[in-house]
Amino acid sequence: MKIAAVQMVSAPEWPANRDAAARLIAQAAAAGAGLVALPEYFCLMGRRDTDKLALAEAAGDGPIQQFLSGQAREHGLWLVGGTLPVRTAQADRVLNRSCVYAPDGSEAAHYDKVHLFAFDNGRESYDEGRTLNAGSTPVALQAGPLRVGLSICYDLRFPELYRALMHPPCDVLVVPAAFTHTTGRAHWELLLRARAVENQCYVLASAQGGTHPNGRRTWGHSMVVDPWGEVLEVCAEGEGVVVAEVDPQRLAQVRLQLPALAHRRL
C-alpha cells in the first residue's frame, strides 16, 4: 500500500484550511495513496491558544469531522485526520484528538494526545497544558493490510508510547505534528528515524511547515522513514504531499536479519 503525508501551512480560518486539505488529499489520492495523514491542527493555527476552544467539536460530530469522513469516503482511502480540538466537560479545556476514518467514511479509531508540549527558551514560549487535557491510552488499529499506531507531535520524544503500540508490532507509526522551527531543526528527523529503527517499522510524519499568519514558524520536513531508518521521501517547507510504498518484504527482511523486536526483555 502507498502511504502519504500531507504538509500544510494552516491559517486561523477553518474554511481556508479545509479547502487546502481537500486539495492536498486529492493530490495524494491521485498518486495512489491508500492511507493519508494530515498534520496536527490542520484545521486551525490560531492567533491565540484559546482560539481552538471556539472551534472545538463534540466527539463524533461537527463540520471538521464531517469533512474528514467525507474525504475518506470520496477518495476511498484511510484518512488520519491530523488533529482537531474536541470538547471536554470543562469549557476552557479541549482534547487534541486524531481521528482515523475508513474508506467508507466511518470513524475507525481516535487517539487523544498523551504528552503535552511545553517549551521556553526566553524567546519562544509554549504550554499546551493551559488549554488541553491529556489523553491516557495508546491506540493502534488495522487499516486494511496495515497495522497502524497513532501518536501526535510531542509524543515523538517518548519512546515508551511507541513500545506500547508494538504488541503486536505495527507496520506504520503515524506522527501528525506542528513542530516549532527551533525544536524541529534540532530533533525532528533524528527522533523520527530513531522511532523507525527501534520499532522496525515505517514512520509516516505529516507536519505543519512554514510561517503561519499568526507569526509562528513550523519546521515542516514531512517524511516517510523505512524500518532501517532510511528517509524515503521528504517535503522541506510549504504545502506538499509525500508519498511512499510500504513494502511488506522490507519489513520482514529487517525483522528477520536483526530480530530486535523478538529480543525485547522489558
**For position 82, which CATH number holds?**
3.60.110.10
Active site residue 99: no
Average pLDDT rounded to a whole number, residues 103-125:
96
Among residues 40, 57, 128, 237, the one annotated as catalytic is: 40
Residue 178 confidence (pLDDT) above 90: yes
Q: Out of 43, 99, 153, 170, pick the active-site residue.
A: 153
Q: What is the DSSP string of 56-123?
A: -B-TT-SHHHHHHHHHHHHHTSEEE---EEEE-SSTT-EEEEEEEE-TTS-EEEEEE--SPPEEE-SS
pLDDT of residue 152: 98
CA within 13 Å, CB half, 186: 4
Mean pLDDT, the chain, integer? 97
189 noted as active-site residue: no
- Quote the domain boundaries for residue 136: 2-263
- Catalytic option among 43, 99, 113, 201: 113
Q: How many structural domains compose the chain?
A: 1
Active-site residue flag, 113: yes
Instruction: Note the pLDDT of residue 166.
Output: 97
- Chain segment 6-46, per-residue pLDDT in tens: 999 999 999 999 999 999 999 999 999 999 999 999 999 99
DSSP 131: T
pLDDT score recorded for residue 266: 84
State the pLDDT at residue 118: 95
Give me the mean pLDDT over the 205-228 stretch. 97
Whole-number pLDDT of residue 18: 98
Average pLDDT over residues 111-140: 96
